[in-house]
Amino acid sequence: MKIERFDNDEVLASTLATRLIDAIFLNPRLVLGLPTGRTPVALYRELRWHSQRGHADWSQVRTFNLDEFVGLGAGDPGSYRSYMQAALFDHVRMTPEQIGMLDGRAPNLAAECARYERAIAQAGGIDLQILGIGANGHIGFNEPGDTLEAETHVAELRAETRRANAGWFGGDTTRVPSHALSMGLATILRAREIVLMATGAGKQDAVAGLVNGQLTPRLPASFLQLHPRVTAMLDRGAAQRLA
């Protein structure tokens, strides 16, 4: 795993944004896997800045988001769909057909997960998957536990994950849905390249396990060690426990 350290999260975000703009220039049909959460907020702001200045042509790019809350859709401010519209999709030249998102309101969630796997495969697979990481070592909504799911699935959220997401629901943990749809570990590991972003001291234990820990479903991100092309982009806080 390649480790890159940055003085702060702003430099990290602007570096990654520039790389993404370059990647789209080199491959206008890039298939991108995208995360949500607090960590990539600065990345999306940088991408908007570049896009408003014509630095990137999004008209052939495909995107697939990692996850979505069960029961929430486009009209719900807490949905990842709403997050993504505001953070990126409303600001770049993309048609709905280019945007892959799980539908948390689908009547048949298992069928929705299967549809998503097919859509990713039909797009030719994900070229570059951007990831955040939960303080408990989750990626997407692949939570720590006795077992992990390989493919896109319905996930039950752990209490700490619901607390960590409460900020998107007016600080009220009880309003955070109990379940989500998420790409599985195999879905993520099939990406040709992976970049994981982690910022803040709250992520230092998860990052230590990601980089140096044994592979364990207790820290789902540890399985990224199996992938040949992973870069972990870290600020000082997140890198604290690395030598």
Q: Annotated catalytic residue: which of 9, 46, 127, 143?
A: 143
Tell me the closest approach of the beta carbon of residue 230 to ligand GLP, in angstroms: 15
Residue 136 annotated in active site: yes
Tell me the closest approach of the beta carbon of residue 243 to ligand GLP, in angstroms: 24
Beta strand 193-198 with 230-235 is: parallel
Are 44 and 37 in contact by the 8 Å Cβ rule? The answer is: no
* Binding-residue pattern over the window 198 to 227 for ligand GLP, x denoting contact by CB under 6 A: ------------------------------
Residue whose pair of structure tokens reads 């994950």 in the numeric block: 161
- Pick the piece of the chain touching ligand GLP (CB under 6 A) from 5-13, 29-37, 88-96, 99-107: 29-37
Using CA atoms, how far apart are residues 129 and 117, in angstroms rounded to an integer?
Answer: 15
Q: Is 144 in the site for ligand GLP (CB under 6 A)?
A: no
Residue 67 annotated in active site: yes
Are 235 and 199 in contact by the 8 Å Cβ rule? The answer is: yes
- Pick the piece of the chain touching ligand GLP (CB under 6 A) from 34-42, 46-54, 94-102, 229-237: 34-42
Q: In what order do the strands lie in the sheet with 99-100?
A: 2-6, 230-235, 193-198, 128-131, 31-34, 62-65, 99-100
* Binding-residue pattern over the window 88 to 127 for ligand GLP, x denoting contact by CB under 6 A: ----------------------------------------
Q: Which of 9, 67, 68, 112 binds ligand GLP (CB under 6 A)?
A: 67
Q: Is 165 in the site for ligand GLP (CB under 6 A)?
A: yes
Name the DSSP class of 214. P
Q: Which of 6, 16, 33, 37 binds ligand GLP (CB under 6 A)?
A: 37
What single letter denotes the amino acid at residue 5?
R
Q: Which residues of 215-236 are buried (b: 16+ CB within 10 A; e: fewer)?
A: eebebbbbbbeebeebbbbbbe
Tell me the closest approach of the beta carbon of residue 211 to ligand GLP, in angstroms: 16
Using CA atoms, how far apart are residues 197 and 234, in angstroms rounded to an integer?
Answer: 6
Residues found near ligand GLP in the complex (CB under 6 A) = 35-39, 66-67, 132-134, 140-141, 161, 164-165
Active site residues: 67, 136, 138, 143
